[in-house]
Amino acid sequence: MRDWDAFTISNLPISSIDLMENAARACVTWLEDHEFLYSEKFTIFCGKGNNGGDGLAIARLLGERNKKVQVFILEFGQPGTADFQTNLQRLHGSEVDIQYLQEGGDLPEIFPDSWIIDALLGTGTSRPATGRLEILIDFINRSGCPVCSIDLPSGMPADFSIGPFNSEGQPYFPSVRAKVTLSFQSYKPALLFAENAAYTGLVHLLDIGLSSAFLKSTDPDFEGVDQEMASGIIEPRSPFAHKGNFGHALLIAGSVGKMGAALLAGKACLRAGCGLLTFQSPETERSILQTGLPEAMLLTGHIDANYYRSIGCGPGLGQSAAAATLLEQILNEVKRPMVWDADAINLLAVQTEWQKKIPPFTILTPHPKEFDRLAGISINESERWNSARALAISKQWIIILKGHHTLIAMPGGKAYFNTSGNAAMAKGGSGDVLTGLLTGLIARGYTPEKAALLGVWLHGRAGDFAASEWGMESVLAGDIIDQIGNAFMEISS
């Protein structure tokens, strides 16, 4: 963000104080659009950095809108930044009440029925809050007032999880617990971690006019997957094509009692646009597959794995000796990238000697527990993300670490986070749908990297469409499959 701010200031006719004014206006406009969250009173806590400067500018703008505003400035024993000082002077010309909180002084008396605007610290946070700052954060969290944090909840470092949490549930980085976080221009990694979500509340990104040319001038090593990116990947289906042009996929999936997972993966695979699908599944379960998905074929004997354009392993497979033998055969024969999920990953975590046989650019789709089995336990989510990125580089795998903002770590070091999807998808079977989708996209002809980005996006959007039809509680994994077509149509020109 710092580089983006600096680029904007040197390439656009805009100064840093005007960017701060844009930021404050964007916040106040958002509050106004939300009926000022039904309050006439605002208590604003400011540090003396630029986050505090935002808070002072917001105080002035709210005062101009006839809101009752009180401002508390936490004294850090050093002068404020230049833009903070400018906004302090501007605020002195208004009716707004300003008080200073000194080290060792009393805690403030605040309007009991106000919103708190939290502008103590933003992206400058470099260490856990201690002393007066920690006490004030605790005071805000216990006040009973709803909190709107500016840019980040104060105390939360921009790039990390606030955890680990101690036995009393307190995080390593004491942080304000916001109901709403209004963050500027782009996601900071901290806003993506599940364990920070209880502290960020609902996150809204506000455009403050940073230069769009900056994004074109750099290739960041961490980027969001959005509709524009997904639209740029999708390839049209030739009107002259036949089923052979769209690839034959193989799914090594299913075991007694877990054939549902195989069916879900199979349906999603065909919905991804591939031409043909064959299952390698137990003979005893034949009737389930052939009636559940008549469009697919079934193989129960020896497979010539290299015949298939893509291979997905794991959904419902189990960890039996037979499953392990099958996967070992696949690893000995196949030299092209595959998709590995669920029990295939669990077996891989135990059979460590297999790991060197996994072809480069194979996609692994662990959820956090599966990932920890594979790579060792992480103390918090940011460590797990770093560990996934390191493993992707060292093993040359594509790692899709599933979560609310799924991480996609590429072998070249670049990583992406997904911005589609919702909590309705947190249900058994949705991972099987993703595996099928990815396997289908690779068979369809997408490179594993493109399939990973497109597949994760489509999966999330299909989940969004399913949630809008069935509500957040009632979506089934099968409903996600039924919406894959809508997700495709949304990004197809």
Q: Which residues are annotated as a binding site for (6S)-NADPHX?
A: 50-54, 122-128, 151, 261, 316, 367, 432
List the interface residues with K ion, window 46-65 (CB under 5 A).
none
Contact letters for ligand NAX, residues 179-218 (x by CB under 6 A): -----x-----------------------x----------
Q: State yes or no: residue 20 binds ligand NAX (CB under 6 A).
A: yes
The DSSP call for residue 65 is T
Q: Which of 172, 132, 128 is nearest to 45 (CA)?
A: 132
Residues 391-450 that bind ligand NAX (CB under 6 A): none
Mapping DSSP to helix (H, G, I), strand (E, B) and coil, where does residue 98 land? strand
Residue list, annotated binding site: 50-54, 118, 122-128, 151, 154, 261, 316, 367, 402-406, 431-432
- Identified binder of ligand NAX from the candidate list 50, 310, 378, 420, rule CB under 6 A: 50
Burial of 2 (0-12, 13-18, 19+ CB in 10 A): exposed
User: Judged by CB under 6 A, which stretch of 127-135, 140-148, 251-259, 301-309 contacts ligand NAX?
Assistant: 127-135
Q: Where are the extended beta strands (E) located within 288-397?
A: 297-299, 310-313, 339-340, 363-364
For residue 202, the SS3 value is: strand
* Interface region with ligand NAX, contact rule CB under 6 A, candidates 47-55, 63-71, 421-429, 469-477: 47-55
Size of the site for K ion (CB under 5 A): 4
CA distances from 467 to 254, 424, 487, 491 (A): 27, 6, 13, 19
Rounded Cα distance, 445 and 459, in Å: 18
For K ion, the closer CB: 150 or 203: 150
Kindly tell me which of 162 and 339 has the beta carbon lying closer to ligand NAX.
162
The nearer residue to ligand NAX, 49 or 411, going by C-beta atoms, is 49
Instruction: Provide the pairing of β-strand 97-101 with 68-74.
Output: parallel
178 contacts: CB under 8 Å, gap ≥ 6 = 118, 147, 148, 149, 153, 199, 200, 201
In this structure, what token pair is assigned to residue 105? 């002084």
Residue 380 binds which of K ion, ligand NAX, none (CB < 5-8 A, kind-dependent): none
Q: Which residues bind ligand NAX (CB under 6 A)?
A: 5, 16, 19-20, 23, 47, 49-52, 54, 76, 81, 121-127, 129, 133, 150-151, 184, 208
